Amino acid sequence: MAEGIRERKKRRTREALIAAAVELFQRQGYEATTVAQIAAAADVSTRTFFLHFPTKEDVVLAGGGARVELAVRVIEQRGADETMPDVLAAAVECMISEVAGSELATGIADVRVRLMLTVPELQAWMLRRVLDAQRRIVDALCRSYPEEDDVVAVAALVGALVGAVASAATYALRRGDTPEEVTAAMRAAAGRAVLSWSR
């Protein structure tokens, strides 16, 4: 379905807010940046900011919820002969592709990593988001594979794969890798995690 005018305007406003936030965070720091400043830099009202992001933290973590929804859809649409590791790998690949096409290209991923390493409240916020994302993916896998009754094993698979990809991205960004190199590192980490599970 083609994107409508209203949806396109909302997406552009959201992208403008993220770009403004990234620039301000880089220039004056996370703590010193206010929601009002981000809104002003994006040429919108503070009220408009809150229509797109409940908090300043949500700007840093923008897109995470949509990626989890994408992963859940891939799992729910799995083929009858696809194994759980394979369908999870496909779901993670979709998430990696989305990150590569948006966050790595715009620089928000690099800013996010630096903020996560230096802002304690964001570290706690990110941990809650990751745990919630993993729970939703585990639940989706258990629904799609009702014959798999060991939820602990499913959670271990999800944790191993998500953790491997996240760690690879974090350290590749810290090393100063290009977006293409970061994407390759994430894909390699996902492949190793799936291979180790399948042995």
Q: Which segments within the chain are labelled E, that is strand?
A: none
Q: pTM surpassing 0.85?
A: no
pLDDT(36) > 70: yes
List the single range of 119-123, 142-146, 168-172 with lowest mean pLDDT: 119-123
Tens-place pLDDT, residues 55-107: 888 888 776 778 889 899 999 998 878 888 889 889 988 888 888 776 666 67
Q: What is the mean pLDDT of residues 123-132?
A: 85
Tens-place pLDDT, residues 181-196: 988 999 999 988 887 7
pLDDT level of residue 39 (50, 70, 90 thresholds): very high
User: Which 3 state secondary structure label does DSSP give 5?
Assistant: helix
pLDDT at residue 184 in the model: 93
Q: What is the mean pLDDT of residues 22-37?
A: 90
Please name each of the domains of the chain with its CATH number. Answer: 1-55 (1.10.10.60), 63-196 (1.10.357.10)
Written in H, E and C, the secondary structure of 47-104 is HHHHHHCCCHHHHHCCCHHHHHHHHHHHHHCCCCCCCHHHHHHHHHHHHHHHHHHCHH
pLDDT(1) > 50: no
pLDDT at residue 174 in the model: 86
Tens-place pLDDT, residues 158-180: 999 889 998 998 899 888 888 88
Answer for the pair 96, 32: CB distance below 8 angstroms, yes or no: no
Position with higher pLDDT, 185 vs 121: 185
